[in-house]
């Protein structure tokens, strides 16, 4: 009998409960436990063992750069004719090769600090190195962030030196000048002190060093990043109009002003969203240690393979358990009874269905230590995808069954929860 005086369904304790809806749906989508992420574009290679992908949006940017740079070449080198677009396409590819070098700098240092890098992706505005773990110290965080802009500055210097060896009125001279300027812009832009830019990570490291709390650094750098987004949204069109970034435009309005405003809005949205995501993911990382295999595990009862499902569910209910583990006659676990399979068996058939017919054999990687927690737990589940896992004590005894669905709900709940 339950507290309300009604008899409890003996099979209720192992029925799957509907997932609780998250408080909000605008949180960053982290890696789903038990599932492998797709590459997110065209695989171009694996330098240092890290896959490099080109996102579909890159081709849009490459076309835009080709068109804009081609228009500039028409004024500087009109004798090229239509061939100017081939030169412009080469510039677009060379520029993104420079961006790749920038990201590889982050990757090499991350690997040097034993931080796993999932992938590098070249996308709409630049690139990103997906580093799976946080730096252990503020000093390493600062170095990891600084090497990218440093390499871009070095490249700008290399291209500037190359300009001294060629005629500025030639194709090589124009290309070298464009690459020098573009790498200088990449370096300066990334040094701006706001997340998600490299300068924001450097600011985070400095505040972390001063306060001793990485979260304080993240909060400071994220809010500076949001302020930076507003500044870009308002200031970039004004700077362009006043001529601070080039030729002044005496009149507002028209296609040029619309393009400037659109570019500023896109950049501002990227910075604002990235700052917010950085802040939310930092809060998530603070809560990840609370995600432990032990607390998320459903207690289980051992049953032999020929046990009728109705009898197995009765035993689970009596023991206050919510999962079934199939064992042999020596008590060694051999399989897990799948929750989805139980739901698919009608009540009237359960006395005639053996649990062994609903079980999934235990494979390598489906045994999880009850002590796993946080990022270690998520990484383990990601490396060995399954729907359920056998959770065992350090002594080898059965503790229970861990459902991927339960981990996903806890993960989403941790992301959606407001900071205290």
Residues in the annotated binding site for Zn(2+): 102, 106, 198
DSSP states of 100-158: HHHHHHHHHHHHHTT--EEEEEEETTEEEEEE-S--SSHHHHHHHHHHHHHHHHHHHHH
**Tokens 């989403």, located at residue:** 412
Residue 406 contacts by C-beta under 8 Å, 6 or more apart in sequence? 296, 298
Question: Is-contact 84 169, C-beta < 8 A?
Answer: no
Cα 8 to Cα 99: distance, rounded to the nearest angstrom: 62
Of the candidates 45, 202, 29, the one whose C-alpha atom is nearest the C-alpha of residue 119 is: 45
For the chain, the C-alpha Rg in angstroms (whole number) is: 28
Question: 103 an active-site residue?
Answer: yes
Cα 229 to Cα 270: distance, rounded to the nearest angstrom: 8
Residue 183 contacts by C-beta under 8 Å, 6 or more apart in sequence? 98, 152, 153, 155, 156, 159
DSSP states of 41-57: SEEEE-GGG--EEE-HH
Of the candidates 194, 287, 187, 180, the one whose C-alpha atom is nearest the C-alpha of residue 232 is: 194
Structure tokens at 200: 């924001």
Cα 293 to Cα 401: distance, rounded to the nearest angstrom: 9
Residue 174 contacts by C-beta under 8 Å, 6 or more apart in sequence? 73, 76, 77, 87, 168
Segment (H or E) for 335: strand 333-337
Catalytic residue (one of 11, 103, 339, 388): 103
Which active-site residues does the annotation give? 103
């Amino acid at each position: 009998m339950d507290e309300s005086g009604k008899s409890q369904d003996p099979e209720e304790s192992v029925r799957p409960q509907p997932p609780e809806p998250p408080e909000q749906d605008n949180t960053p989508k982290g890696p789903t436990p038990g599932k492998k992420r797709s590459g997110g574009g065209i695989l171009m290679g694996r330098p240092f063992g890290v896959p490099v992908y080109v996102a579909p949006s890159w081709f849009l940017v490459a076309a835009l750069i080709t068109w804009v740079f081609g228009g500039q070449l028409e004024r500087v080198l009109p004798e090229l004719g239509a061939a100017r677009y081939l030169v412009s396409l080469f510039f677009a590819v060379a520029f993104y090769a420079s961006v790749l070098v920038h990201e590889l700098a982050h990757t090499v240092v991350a690997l040097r600090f034993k931080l796993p890098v999932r992938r590098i992706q070249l996308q709409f505005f630049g690139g990103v190195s997906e580093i799976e773990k946080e730096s252990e110290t503020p000093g390493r965080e600062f170095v990891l962030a600084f090497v990218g802009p440093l390499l871009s500055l070095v490249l700008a210097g290399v291209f500037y030196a190359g300009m001294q060896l060629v005629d500025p009125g030639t194709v090589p001279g124009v290309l070298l000048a464009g690459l020098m300027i573009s790498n200088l812009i990449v370096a300066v832009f990334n040094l701006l002190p706001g997340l998600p830019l490299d300068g924001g990570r450097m600011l985070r490291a400095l505040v972390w060093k001063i306060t001793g709390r990485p979260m304080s650094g993240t909060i400071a750098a994220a809010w500076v990043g949001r302020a930076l987004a507003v500044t870009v949204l308002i200031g970039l069109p004004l700077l362009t109009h006043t001529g601070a970034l080039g030729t002044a435009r005496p009149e507002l309005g028209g296609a040029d002003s619309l393009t400037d405003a659109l570019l500023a809005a896109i950049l501002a949205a990227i910075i604002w969203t990235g700052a917010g995501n950085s802040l939310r993911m930092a809060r998530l990382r603070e809560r990840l240690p609370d995600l432990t295999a032990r607390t998320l595990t459903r207690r289980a009862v051992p049953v032999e393979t020929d046990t009728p499902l109705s009898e197995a569910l009765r035993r689970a209910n009596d023991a206050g358990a919510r999962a079934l583990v199939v064992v042999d006659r020596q008590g060694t676990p051999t399989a897990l009874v799948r929750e989805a399979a139980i739901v698919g068996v009608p009540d009237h058939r359960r006395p005639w269905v053996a649990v062994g017919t609903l079980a999934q054999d235990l494979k390598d990687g489906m045994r999880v230590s009850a002590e796993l927690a946080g990022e270690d737990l998520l990484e383990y589940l990601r490396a060995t995808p399954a729907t359920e896992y056998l959770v065992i004590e350090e002594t080898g005894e059965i503790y229970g069954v861990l459902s991927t669905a339960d981990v996903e709900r806890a993960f989403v709940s941790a992301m959606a929860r407001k900071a205290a």
